[in-house]
């Protein structure tokens, strides 16, 4: 059986990518990172990622810019982003080049909605206090006002 793919793009769509799924319907689990660098990289309270083998990730259009970051444990982290719109694509520890963290928000809608299982939260001790109120009844729910 031929492999299936997940696809994604940046906001301006100048860069696109795909992730090989060797087993159909074997969607990657989600991992949330609460480290300070991921928060700054994504501009959000946490970074939501799918972790895939580097060999299964491929850019199909355009090339990202690379930023070499110093991670929270003093290791180097390669971060790729669109040089035109700034969309972050990946984070990859130089100590483990076999795996890459792909920002799940960059997946195309039809693929993102299939990656639904939250497997882990890392750097949980740095979780912003407001994050725990997501999904609670006391938070106002507004559809479509910002984007």
| Owning domain of residue 39 | 4-128
User: Which residue, chain included where needed, has tokens 């669109």?
Assistant: 82
113 belongs to a structural domain: yes
pLDDT band at 128 (very low <50, low <70, confident <90, very high): confident
Distance CA 11, CA 34 (A): 23
The pLDDT of residue 13: 98
32-60 pLDDT, tens digit each: 999 999 999 999 999 999 999 999 999 99
How many domains does the chain divide into? 1
26 belongs to a structural domain: yes
Mean pLDDT (whole number) for 108-131? 90
140 belongs to a structural domain: no
The pLDDT of residue 133: 77
Q: Where are the alpha helices (H) located in 43-128, listed in sequence order?
A: 109-112
Answer yes or no: is pLDDT of 145 > 60. no
C-beta of residue 33 within 8 angstroms of C-beta of residue 136: no
83 belongs to a structural domain: yes
136 belongs to a structural domain: no
Distance CA 98, CA 40 (A): 24
138 belongs to a structural domain: no
What is the SS3 assignment for 69? strand
Mean pLDDT (whole number) for 7-16? 98
- Write out the two tokens for 38: 């991921």
Answer yes or no: is pLDDT of 68 > 60. yes
- Distance of alpha carbon 100 from the chain centroid: 9
C-beta of residue 66 within 8 angstroms of C-beta of residue 89: no
147 belongs to a structural domain: no
C-beta of residue 82 within 8 angstroms of C-beta of residue 11: yes
45 belongs to a structural domain: yes
CATH number of the domain that 46 lies in?
A: 2.170.150.70
How far is the CA of 121 from the CAs of 34, 35, 46, 92, 124, in angstroms?
7, 10, 9, 17, 6
How much is the pTM? 0.89
């Amino acid at each position: 059986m031929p492999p299936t793919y997940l696809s994604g793009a940046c906001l301006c769509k100048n860069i696109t990518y795909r992730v090989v799924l060797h087993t159909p319907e074997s969607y990657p689990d989600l991992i949330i990172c609460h480290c300070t660098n991921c928060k700054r990289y994504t501009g959000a309270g946490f970074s939501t990622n799918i972790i895939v083998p580097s060999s299964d990730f491929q850019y199909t259009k355009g090339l990202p810019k690379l930023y070499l970051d110093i991670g929270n444990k003093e290791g180097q982290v390669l971060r790729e982003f669109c040089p035109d719109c700034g969309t972050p694509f990946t984070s990859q520890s130089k100590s483990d080049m076999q795996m890459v963290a792909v920002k799940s928000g960059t997946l195309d809608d039809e693929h993102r909605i299939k990656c639904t299982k939250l497997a882990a939260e890392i750097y949980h001790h740095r979780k912003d206090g407001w994050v725990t109120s997501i999904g609670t009844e006391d938070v106002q729910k507004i559809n479509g006002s910002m984007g």
